[in-house]
Amino acid sequence: MTATQLILALTLAAILPPSLSSAEVRHLQNPGQPLKQFSAAPTHFDAALCQIVYQVDRSPSPQGYRYLFYGNGFFINNQGYVLTAAHVLKALNGGQPYLLLRATSGAPQFLEANVVAIDYDHDVALLRATPNPFSGGFRVSFLSLAADDPVPGQMALAEALHPLNPRDSYSSEPILEESSGGTVLSFESAQLDGARVDTELLVFSHPVQPGQSGAAVISAHSHAVIGLVEGQWLRGALTALAAAKHRAANDVSDASKDEVSPLPAVVIPIHYAISLLQQKGVEWHAAMKNPQNGQVAASDAAMPVPLSLVPATFPSQSFFGAEVLLDASIDSAGTLSDIRTLHGEGEFLENALAAVRTWTFRNPRSTGQETGRAVIVFDFPQPYIPPRSATERHYDDLRPTELKDSAPFPLTIDEPAYPEEATARTGSVMLYATVDRTGQLGSIQVVRGVGPLLRVTLAALRNWRFLPARQRGTAIDSAAVIVVTFRQPLVVDRARD
């Protein structure tokens, strides 16, 4: 910021109301720049947002209290719980985090934010404001969390707050609101800085602004949070796609030499936050599932209901496919416990275990009904057309013996064939099914998957065979989670083999 811009910013701080959109401030600082309005968000959004700061002053100056700004968070219930990105807290270097909140009257006030839980692998943190601002004296609300996975092409809003001068701010100065739209471009996987495992990420066409880490990304349709802003996506193909969408949205020609294309945002899916909340027994408000997304409710009310599942990533260095078979219980908290590895090794097994440890369910065992164990099948089809080996796998020799309690066991798996459609590429299909006491697949719920990848997966399931689950030695109905992770295949000329 130049000296002239700084003087103008301080002048604006003195004369403007305490809450402005950043688009309005940029327009006032640069009158020649057109003011672009995004779709209006419901009025309660801004009251659910909060700044994560460090309070420097313990007594006020004429300008109020001085503070350092680190990032954003948002309330998820009326008990004062806040979600943010873990790296926002890491930047505090062990200092006490505070929330700067708008009071119902008077100047904004600081509240201590106690750290409840942190997941550094997936960059999510849970805080709790002390005292609870919902008890009175503050203008606060909370946001719902999305029950549906977002899909490419879905519109969303990045909602954030930040001060004019993040590293040297005073509580009497205006707080800027950033509400800017974008499109979900794709699901990607990457290992975040300092993480031990891969994280599934959303790439979002909205260009990240400084200070938006931890900000809520909200579905324009359901008004529920689909994720938290992580940072910028720096990889080639999607950067070009985001640039094209930006040019189209702003009516800028591809031939423009002056246009600087913004980098798209990396968003942490809300799945990882839901897993953290489930582990800590913290309640949240879930938006209703969209009945048009192809999902079908499980027919057996005694079965656990999947709340939040993500697929495992295809190991980047692998040139062949594999299967991982797991057997697990769903505990009273709705998380997987007593996970047994029936088949699988190497990075395929590591990625599968990393994924399932974040899965959450609503478990009807709280009603006194027993559901037994569930089988989890991860299928990573071989990335070649035509396949280089047989696509049917038999596991009769691995069937469990002398176990009174066991999940249904897959005796035969038919690997889905890549669809012929040109649009078929990397992606995952996730299904939640019942396996009856005769070993037959019953109802199938589509957790994730559309189009040709879903079609070929459902076709392959017709040839799968199971050994039924057993409870105290008796065959019972039970659950199966089937995850097929496709990698865009190499096309091999059979004549050269």
What would the two tokens of residue 382 be?
């071989």
216 is a domain residue? yes
Q: Give residue for tokens 């659910």.
A: 48
- Pair (95, 230) in one structural domain: yes
Q: Indicate the pTM of the whole model.
A: 0.79
CA angle, residues 295, 297, 299, in degrees to nearest 5: 140
Q: Closest Cα partner for 373 from 300, 303, 478, 445?
A: 478
496 belongs to a structural domain: no
pLDDT digits (tens, 9 = 90+) for 142-190: 999 998 888 888 999 999 998 988 888 999 988 888 888 889 988 888 8
| CA distance linking residue 387 with residue 273, whole number of Å | 38
Question: Where residue 371 sits, what CATH number does that domain have?
Answer: 3.30.2420.10
Assess whether 49 and 94 both reside in one domain.
yes
SS3 assignment, position 479: strand
Q: Which residues constitute the domain of residue 103?
A: 17-32+42-253+261-269
Instruction: Based on the fold, state whether residues 164 and 237 are members of the same structural domain.
Output: yes
Residues 327 and 217 in one domain: no
Residue identified by tokens 């350092």 is 68
315 and 242 fall within a common domain: no
133 falls within a domain: yes
Q: What is the domain count for the chain?
A: 2
- Of 45-54, 193-202, 362-371, the poorest mean pLDDT is in 362-371
pLDDT tens, position by position, 339-394: 999 999 999 999 999 999 999 988 665 544 445 689 999 999 998 888 888 899 99
* Location of structure tokens 């209901």: 305
Q: Which residues contact 154 (CB under 8 A, 6 or more apart)?
A: 183, 184, 219, 220, 221, 226
291 domain-assigned: no
Task: Give the model's confidence band at 36: pLDDT under 50 very low, under 70 low, under 90 confident, else very high.
Answer: very low
User: Within this chain, do residues 246 and 312 fall inside the same structural domain, yes or no?
Assistant: no
- The verdict on whether omega for the bond into residue 166 sits within 30 degrees of 0, i.e. cis, is no
Task: Give pLDDT, residue 261.
Answer: 53
Beta strand residue intervals within 320-408, DSSP E: 322-330, 336-343, 360-362, 374-380, 384-385, 392-394
Is residue 278 domain-resident?
A: no
Which token pair is 345? 């090794």
236 & 370 share domain: no
Between 439 and 332, the higher pLDDT residue: 439
Q: What is the pLDDT of residue 294?
A: 37
Q: What is the pLDDT of residue 193?
A: 85
| Confidence at residue 43, expressed as pLDDT on a 0 to 100 scale | 46
Q: Is the pLDDT of residue 38 over 60?
A: no
C-beta of residue 126 within 8 angstroms of C-beta of residue 276:
yes
464 has pLDDT over 60? yes
- Specify whether 372 is located in the same domain as 456: yes
Q: Let me know the angle formed at the C-alpha of 253 by 247 and 257, rounded to the nearest 5 degrees.
A: 100
Same domain, 248 and 324: no
User: 237 and 337: one domain?
Assistant: no
Greatest Cα pair distance, the chain, in angstroms, is: 82
Instruction: Look at residue 215 in the predicted model and tell me its pLDDT.
Output: 95
Structure confidence at residue 373 (pLDDT): 85
**What CATH number does the domain containing 232 carry?**
2.40.10.120
Q: With CA atoms as reference, report the closest residue to 400 among 455, 471, 448.
A: 471
Residue 276 lies in a domain: no
Q: Is residue 235 part of a domain?
A: yes
**Same-domain pairing of 83 and 135:** yes
| 240 and 322 inside one domain | no
d(CA 247, CA 100): 36
Q: Quick one: DSSP state of residue 381?
A: -
Domain-embedded: residue 286: no
